[in-house]
Amino acid sequence: MALWTASEIAAATDGTSSGDFAVDGVAFDSREVGPGDLFIALTGETTDGHRFLDQAFEQGAAGAIVSAGTPHPHVRVADSFAALEDLARAARARTDAKVIGVTGSVGKTSAKEALFACLDRGMRGRVHRSVKSYNNHTGVPLSLSRMPVATKAAVLEMGMNHAGELAALTRLVRPHVAIVTTIAPAHTEFFRDESAIADAKGEIFQGLEPGGIAIVPFDSPHRDRLIAAAQPHAGRIVSFGLGDGADVRATETMRLSHGGTFVTARIGERELSFTLSQPGAHWVSNAMAVLAAVDAVGADLALAGLALAEQGGLPGRGARFQAALPAGGEALVIDESYNANPASMRATLAVLSDTPGRHVAILGEMRELGEASGDYHAGLAPAVEAARVEAAVLVGEAMAPLAAALAGRMDIVHVADAPAALAAAREMLAPGDAVLVKGSNGVGLARVVAGLRGA
């Protein structure tokens, strides 16, 4: 069955079709268009998707949404971005799927992927999710528009860096279950304090379907604030975490030799024991949020436990590999290069502390932290020392305060950018080392990871 037909697209967007066609996917980046896709020609401040129509059809597009004339098969609309949102609303309206929305300062993409794996274990091929980190004003409607009508469950990630953004996204998604993974300093240049970040994350509850379930972090200092945000919109509020009193909590944990954790969790009156493949206390907390959501939609908890045992690390978010070194031997690379804020930095440094070998950290600056950026960076020093880091490459101008705080305590190289970081790492690494690579996405440490991998 086609994802969309021309007539369905025209009806959803109040557009005019050039003729019959059917599509199996949706894209608005011409570089991502594949055979059978619908290409949405968005018009922005710096580019115009209509310039790439020929390229999209050369790559196999079956149709397009346009706001200007084209000889290619199309649906013409007044505003292509509004049409993307309309298509998303139509996709959401035509499915009976249980929809789960996920947000948080840290861990939302990892939780989304884990939740997908847990649900797909029992609904094979009938679970939809956001791809990559498509969680903003364009990514969320794109993810919705890609949802097949026969979907049984959907997991959609939502992000924000300004107040009001999540309110708009969640009303588009209309989740049956809404999760806030955690609240931590992120995008702080746009918020007065962490409480304001909690308020902005709490907007996700505004879009809950009637009787919907809000899932909140029990151990967060902002728990009561999030509960207050959820109360006007949720039929039920479920807390998760490690502390006594959480509705879904880890009652026992035991670290395993391979780096994972054996967990016993209590979900209401039930108990589940499972092996969590991902290392770190933050992953135990994430797993409790995932189990709370699995239970909220009535899915199989035992199958969820099996999925959590099998889930590997994601590229940029915990994936591990052995890197061959120029002089011989290998070093273990922990790839956390996708993004960073103070909380996630501390969590992943704690993971490094439990990893065998000499500890090396390649840390990129944390961005969008506003006037307190220097304090946040310098404040990482205790976590770096607690992780028993013996050598560090610090990347970016904002890392200067941390470099100063660590001076004389370990071997430190402070460099301007990712290429310099890769060169320094190649000089520094020795066989048997364990190296953590983490920084804000804009620093480009994925290039360091690729270089160490030999790509």
Residues 73-98, buried b or exposed e (16+ Cβ, 10 A)? bbbbbeebbebbbbbbbbbbeebebb
- Residue from 406, 418, 67, 111 nearest 286 by CA: 111
Distance separating alpha carbons of residues 403 and 384, to the nearest angstrom: 11
Question: How far apart (Å, rounded) are the C-alpha atoms in residues 68 and 77?
Answer: 8
Q: What are the Cα distances from residue 425, in Å, to 252, 422, 430? A: 38, 5, 10
Alpha-carbon gap, residue 63 to 83, rounded angstroms? 14
Residue 352: strand pairing partners: none
Tokens 């997908």 found at: 116
Contact 178, 207 (CB under 8 A): yes
User: Does 132 carry a binding-site annotation?
Assistant: no
Q: Residue 113 corresponds to which tokens in the numbers above?
A: 């992927």
74-76/98-103 β-pairing: unpaired
Asked if 175 and 211 count as a contact pair (C-beta separation under 8 A), the reply is no
Do residues 122 and 303 touch, judged by C-beta distance below 8 A?
yes
Beta bridge partners of 323: 331
What does the DSSP assignment read for 43-63? B-SS-BGGGGHHHHHHTT--E
**Token pair 């002089």 is at which residue?**
327
Instruction: Report how far residue 417's alpha carbon sits from residue 425's, in angstroms, rounded to the nearest whole number.
Output: 12
Residue 105 assigned to a binding site: yes
In whole angstroms, give the CA distance from residue 331 to residue 295. 40
Cα(170)–Cα(363) distance, rounded to whole angstroms?
A: 33
Helix (H, G, I), strand (E, B) or coil at 111: helix
φ/ψ of 105, rounded to 5, equals -75, -30
122 among annotated binding-site residues:
no
Q: Please indicate if the annotation marks 108 as binding a ligand.
A: yes
Roughly what angle, to the nearest 10 degrees, separates helices 108-120 and 281-296? 50
Other CB atoms within 10 A of residue 403 CB: 17
Cβ atoms within 10 Å, residue 10: 20
5 is in an annotated binding site: no
Binding site, by residue number, is 104-110
Binding site for ATP, by residue number, is 104-110
